[in-house]
Every structure is written in structure tokens, then in C-alpha cells.
Amino acid sequence: MAIVINGSGEILGISVGGLPDGIVDAGTLATNSVDSAELIDGAVDDSHMASIKGRKNILYNGAMKISQRGTSFAAIGNTDYSLDRWSFQNSTIGTYTVTQDSSGPAGFANSYKIDCTTADASPAAGDQMYIKQKIEGQDVQHLKKGTASAESITASFWVKSNKTGDMQVNLYDKDNTRIIGNTVTINAADTWEQKSLTFAGDTTGAFNDDNAQSLQIELWFDSGSNYSSGAVPTSWEARVEADRNAGGTLALADSTSNYLNFTGVQLEVGSTATDFEHRSYGEELALCQRYYQKYENTGNINANDGALFNTCVWNTTDTFSAFVYINPMRTSPSVGFSDTTANSLTLFVAGSSSTPTSWAINNSSDTRLEFLLKSSSLTTGEAGWVRLSANKFMYLDAEL
């Protein structure tokens, strides 16, 4: 390895064998943690090389910045999404309010907070409570799963709770129904602590190379005996339900005084947890919009805020409209509104307004929708536009 400088003595990069062109530029050095001692000794370790080579966090919204659906979710239900990309799994083991909390350890403005609002100190055998994020197969091909070169994977995160105890974290391979897990310990109450776990690579079962779910990370907080009566799967195995929370002792459901915050969640290749990869708000939002998009009339300007798309009158009862998404989505999404069609949309044609009586998707893809809106007493060939009513929204959902 050699340091590359220009005629003015400025460092341009490092020549490193095995990298494309052998050059790591100075801009990359500025944003990655390769210290001066390593440069002098030539000992840049694998964890630093991983960060030099590009984006490392496999997960989206690990810093809990994005919450298109809202910032507070009372009595959140089973498998409900709250903050973007994070799904809450709870089958009748207490009730909870989830919020995008405006607190975190140094460097984090937000966290995912779970407050217990109805306790359940004796969960039924089939009860389960955990948070998960699902990952597309085409985004984890670099893990080399199912080959002799399968990569180790490290998960890290910050956590704070009034409870101390062990929580289990699992990686679940949905394509091959395989799982690996381990536990971390919350040592001090009401204190932000950073945790990390490393999982061995799996030489059995490759991930499908597609836009469907292949990998899932699970953070468990409580469960009944159906999920805790086995053994922690510290090596990859065929999934056994009794192993999924076998090491968990946190029991977050046992009191309404209980809460838990977590943030800075990262999943990366390698056996070392590196610094969290902070992405800009705009970049993180765009990544999340692959799975969910919200179009809203906030009503902050006037009732006519919230234009959605132009339309043309097809016949006396139908209008036809094309709608292009802000960002392409994972697949053709489902479409919904915050209220009934009559309360959510207004149609403007030839200077007058009307309320659509119904709507349908005429055609759809991962980039656009074609709407068919029905009204009455329309004039064929006229043009118009459609807006959202004040304080209403439309959403597109392509979650895994």
C-alpha cells in the first residue's frame, strides 16, 4: 500500500492492492475511519476496508428519521407498520403505543419508542412480541449465503429501557426457513447502551435474487412458551419456533411502567460493528418510498392544497388519469385513502367541481397508476384535475 500525493503535497488517495484501479480517494478517506496509525503501519483492517468500499448498512431507516404514516400509534396492532420499514409484531400480549421519539444517544435525533399501556405478566403460550424489518433477496446477494464463501454479518444498535435483562436478536432466512440468533443484555436501566452481535455466514441455502422477502431481522421483547422453550440458535438451523426467543428475559409486557427505545440499527457484512452509516434525510426518504408513499393535503395553505393529477373526461360518467410516483416502487402498489372516496377526493372539470362516486385502478406498475374515477353529468373530451380534500391523504403500499 502507498499514499498517493500531488505536486503540492496534498493526499490524493491510497494505492491498495485488490481494489478497482488500486486507488482509494481522499474524499473517501475523509468520510471513513482510517486513522493515521493505520496509514503509517499499512494495517487497514477488514472493518475499515468494508466501509471504504461503499454503503454498508443493509437496513433502511435505522436512525428512525422517516415516519410517513405518522409519529404516534396507539394500541398498535399485529404486523402493523409504524416508522418506515419497521413492523411491530404483537399477538395479544399486552397493548402498546409506538412513537417516533425525539430522543436518542449522541448523534441521533430520533428513536423508536414502545410504551406498554396494558400489561400482561403471564403471556399465553402462543403470544409473541418483536420488531422486524424485511429485506429483498436482490439486496443481500453480497452475503454469499449458500456458498463456501458465505459472509459473517454483524448487527448493532442503541437501546434504552427501564427494564434490564436479555433480548434476543435473530436473522431469519425466509427462502430456506433457516434462522440464527443470539442475545444481548441491557445492563443499566434508563441508560442508552450500544449493543452488537455477529452471526456466522451460512453455507446452506442461497437467497433468491428477486424483489421478494429473503432476509428478516427480529428484535424480541417478550413471548409465551411456544417461542421461548427451546435453545438460542447460535448456529444456522432449520427454524424452530421454540428457539426464536429462548434467550429472552426482558418481559416488556409485565407492567405499564415499561418502555423501550432503540435506534442506530445497522446490519453489515463482517465480524466487527463499525460506526453507524448516517444517510441524509432525503436519501433515506427516497429509499423508504420504494415501499410506501404518502400524498397529503395538510390544509395548511387552503382547501385547494393537495393537487394529485390531471384528468380527462372519457365519457359522461368516467374520467381517466395517469399518476407517476415520486420514486419507483418495489412492485405495483396497493392504493388507499384516509377516508371514503367521497370525502377524500374532489374532481374539477371545466371550472366546476364534483365528488367522485367511486374509483378504480385501470392499470398499474412499479412506476405509475392509471385511475378511473366515476362522477356524473360530465362532458366527453373536457380536461380537469383531481385534488385531495383538506387533511386527507392517499397512500401507495408495496411493503414486503
Task: Please give the share of the chain, as a percent, with pLDDT higher than 90.
Answer: 75
What pLDDT shows up at residue 54? 64
Q: Is the pLDDT of residue 49 over 50?
A: no
Average pLDDT over residues 75-82: 89
Same-domain status, 299 and 228: no
Q: How many CB atoms lie within 10 A of CB 46?
A: 11
What pLDDT shows up at residue 275? 98
Same-domain status, 128 and 244: yes
Same-domain status, 106 and 181: yes
What pLDDT shows up at residue 183? 98
What pLDDT digit, counting tens, does each position of 170-223 carry?
999 999 999 999 999 999 999 999 999 999 999 999 999 999 999 999 999 999
Please give the Cα distance from 394 to 392 (Å, whole number): 7
What the block records as the C-alpha cell of 51 is 466501509
What pLDDT digit, counting tens, does each position of 353-395 carry?
888 888 899 999 999 999 999 998 899 999 999 999 888 999 9
What pLDDT digit, counting tens, does each position of 98-112 carry?
999 999 999 999 999
Same-domain status, 139 and 198: yes
Same-domain status, 215 and 352: no
Report the domain count for the chain.
3
Confidence of residue 116 (pLDDT cuts 50, 70, 90): very high
Q: Is the pLDDT of residue 295 over 90?
A: yes
- Asked if residue 60 is part of any domain, the answer here is no
- Asked if residue 64 is part of any domain, the answer here is no
Rg of the chain, C-alpha, whole Å: 25
- Asked if residue 153 is part of any domain, the answer here is yes
How far is the CA of 251 from the CAs of 79, 132, 241, 374, in angstroms? 19, 18, 18, 52
How far is the CA of 193 from the CAs of 88, 95, 161, 166, in angstroms? 22, 25, 10, 13
- Asked if residue 66 is part of any domain, the answer here is no
Q: 273, 288, 303: which is the final residue of a domain?
A: 288
Q: Is the pLDDT of residue 297 over 80?
A: yes
What pLDDT shows up at residue 307? 87
Q: 265, 288, 311: which is the final residue of a domain?
A: 288
Average pLDDT over residues 267-276: 98
Average pLDDT over residues 234-258: 98
Element at 81 (helix H, strand E) = strand 80-81
**Residue 127 identity:** D
Average pLDDT over residues 300-316: 79
- Asked if residue 117 is part of any domain, the answer here is yes
Same-domain status, 363 and 268: no
What pLDDT shows up at residue 190? 98
Same-domain status, 19 and 122: no
- Please list the residues that pair with 360 across neighbouring strands: 372
Q: Is the pLDDT of residue 276 over 70?
A: yes
Q: Is the pLDDT of residue 124 over 70?
A: yes
Please give the Cα distance from 34 to 52 (Å, whole number): 9
Same-domain status, 279 and 328: no
- Asked if residue 335 is part of any domain, the answer here is yes
| CA angle 51–168–399, rounded 5-degree value | 65
Same-domain status, 160 and 275: yes
Residue 107, Cα to own-chain centre: how many angstroms?
19
- Asked if residue 58 is part of any domain, the answer here is no
Please give the Cα distance from 309 to 112 (Å, whole number): 34
Same-domain status, 177 and 321: no
CATH code of the domain covering residue 119: 2.60.120.260
Q: Is the pLDDT of residue 87 over 50?
A: yes
Same-domain status, 247 and 305: no
Domain that holds residue 8: 2-52
Q: Is the pLDDT of residue 50 over 70?
A: no
Average pLDDT over residues 146-158: 98
Same-domain status, 283 and 315: no
- Asked if residue 195 is part of any domain, the answer here is yes
What pLDDT shows up at residue 43? 43
